[in-house]
Chains A and B, each alone.
Chain A
Amino acid sequence: MQSLASPTRHRVAGSERIGPYTLLRLERGGLEPGVAGQFFMLEAPGRPLPRPFSLCLAPPGELAFLIDPIGPGTEAICELEVGDEIRVLGPLGHGYRLDVERPLLVGGGIGIAPLPYLAEQLGGSPPVVLGFRSEEHAEAAALFPSAEVVIDPVLVTDVLPEGYDVLACGPEPMLHAVADLCPDAQLAWEAPMACGYGACYGCVVEIDGALKRLCLEGPVLDAQRVNGRYRVPAVSEEAVSA
């Protein structure tokens, strides 16, 4: 993990639309890409708080993030242009365990964000199943050389093959459904976060039966550690695709 000092400034190297999402590429500078599933806090221009994003891709000399513009902060980040600079802190939190025998990557919507980098770290082109709410959102499947893609009302859990080590990221209902089918899955969760390093106590979810900070415990957790006493309806504002 990056030592906790002031976030460093990074120039935008590229920003391209993929369906409704934006793939933002930043010059890496001195930051390490970390382990897939870890996250970075990106400054949201003009807003008081940064936003958490898991790393999507780690091209040479760059860090790339997939962003869904769903609120003022994420919109401001998507409007960044090449040459603009933003402050970045990370990598933070705990990513996926990569020591799995038969990986299967499962993503839903913006939850596909950490999977391209995860596939790269796992090596060997693991199978990928992706679910989207529309054809437009499904354009983001272009980030993967080959993936099985389903579109609502078909769900990823309708097509999950058996016998794999599932590594998933997506909306809460999808993660709960995956957990029911695959109790040994590794799941990347999201929650509103102000800091990303355990200071704000804002990102608690129920982990091991108690409210714990997702930024410190996760965001990737073994499926059996999370159950549903508190279900956040949906991340309402800026989300936080950590």
Chain B
Amino acid sequence: MRILNASGCLDALAAPEVARQLDAFVTKTVTPLPREGNAPPRIAETAHGMLNAIGLANPGRERFVADHLPRLRELGIPLWVSVGGFCAEDYAVTCSLLAGIEAIELNLSCPNVDEAADSAAEIVAACRRASELPLYAKLSAAHPDIAEVAQAVAAAGADGLSLINTLRAVAFDRQLRPALARGSGGLSGPALKPVALHAVRACHTETVLPIVGMGGIQTGRDALEFAACGARDIALGTVLFADPGAPSRVRVELASACEDAGVAKPEDAASLAKTPETGRKVPA
């Protein structure tokens, strides 16, 4: 089980010692044109997570490829580039410019931009024609049937799934004003974990695609639960903010979580998760 970062939750150039703890670094989403991002305030804490409305701040694909990508390569870790846009053509052109990386993650689900994207399958198909690199489709659990979307992107040529993105949410300050300048934002952190686990399990049941599971993972035990739902790899997001040593810590904890669960490796947890506990009649 590889440990990645969730896109947008780490700047490898600002914190290379954190990136080097990962099995692969996923960039912030790259869009066709540079984006300054949303006005502050952009983040707000909630009871069991946080909201962000960063707004896909990024240098744009030309400067990313010319300037950022070479510097990222110098870090010597496998790179995944997250690609975003507002129509299939946006995504496909960016994909065609990328080389010398391990994979592309297609951000099909950012809640912090206004423009509606084309259908996920159409975007994946366009990117498939534009690039031979592995394509991971990052989906939102806001869709009523995420497994249906997963099947559609699989049929369109996706090589894997990244599950899940943040969920659109709102929070207020003590004066009942929206805590974010944009009004709403993406919810991340521990509050998301049960939703993410369900999405991973649903997509794992309906497709054969490898899954990077993410959403509220704080510990090795959390990572093992994603493995139990069928995730092959996991990504860390919000936990990185409180703990820049989280990748190394989670890797160590995952080994002992496997031991505690009586499995030799994380993948073996999937068989345990197939049999629901039926004996207990009262809450534990």
Question: Footprint of B on A, CB under 8 Å?
Answer: 3-7, 41, 43, 47-50, 71, 73, 87, 89, 191-195, 197-205, 210-211, 216, 230, 232, 235-238
Interface-central residue, B14, B44, B241, by most chain A CB under 10 Å:
B241
B216 and chain A: residue at smallest CB distance? A48
Q: Apart from A197-B18, A238-B45, list 7 A-B contacts with CB within 8 A.
A: A191-B40, A192-B41, A194-B50, A198-B11, A201-B11, A237-B44, A237-B174
Q: For the complex, is B189 an interface residue (Cβ under 8 Å from A)?
A: yes
Q: Pick the residue among B15, B44, B175, B177 that contacts A197 (CB under 8 A).
A: B15
Q: For the complex, is B27 an interface residue (Cβ under 8 Å from A)?
A: no
* Contact between B174 and A199, CB atoms less than 8 A apart: no
* Contact between B243 and A3, CB atoms less than 8 A apart: no
Question: Footprint of A on B, CB under 8 Å?
Answer: 8-11, 14-15, 17-18, 28, 36-37, 39-46, 48-50, 52, 54, 57, 173-175, 177, 179, 189-190, 238, 240-246, 248-249
Interface-central residue, B40, B173, B190, by most chain A CB under 10 Å:
B40
**Contact of A199 with B14 at beta-carbon distance under 8 Å, contacts A6-B245, A204-B37 already known:** yes
Interface-central residue, A41, A48, A198, A236, by most chain B CB under 10 Å:
A48
A5 and chain B: residue at smallest CB distance? B245
Tell me what chain A mostly uses at the interface: helix, strand, loop, or mixed: loop
B48 and chain A: residue at smallest CB distance? A48
**Contact of A89 with B40 at beta-carbon distance under 8 Å, contacts A4-B15, A201-B57 already known:** no
**Contact of A194 with B241 at beta-carbon distance under 8 Å, contacts A210-B36, A230-B40 already known:** yes
**Contact of A200 with B245 at beta-carbon distance under 8 Å, contacts A48-B238, A236-B174, A236-B177 already known:** no
In the bound complex, CA of A41 to CA of B17 (Å): 18
* Contact between A199 and B244, CB atoms less than 8 A apart: yes
* Contact between B48 and A201, CB atoms less than 8 A apart: no
In the complex, how many angstroms separate the beta carbon of B206 from the nearest chain A beta carbon?
32
In the complex, how many angstroms separate the beta carbon of B80 from the nearest chain A beta carbon?
16
Q: Return chain B residues, CB-CB under 8 Å to A237.
A: 44-45, 173-174, 179
In the bound complex, CA of A198 to CA of B241 (Å): 9
* Contact between A232 and B41, CB atoms less than 8 A apart: yes
In the bound complex, CA of A50 to CA of B40 (Å): 19
In the bound complex, CA of A48 to CA of B49 (Å): 6
CB-defined A-B contacts under 8 Å, sample of 5 = A3-B17, A48-B48, A49-B50, A236-B174, A236-B175
Q: Pick the residue among A4, A199, A201 that contacts B245 (CB under 8 A).
A: A4
Q: Return chain A residues, CB-CB under 8 Å to B243.
A: 6-7, 87
Shortest Cβ-Cβ A-B pairs, 9 listed: A6-B245, A202-B43, A198-B14, A236-B173, A195-B241, A194-B241, A5-B245, A4-B244, A201-B54
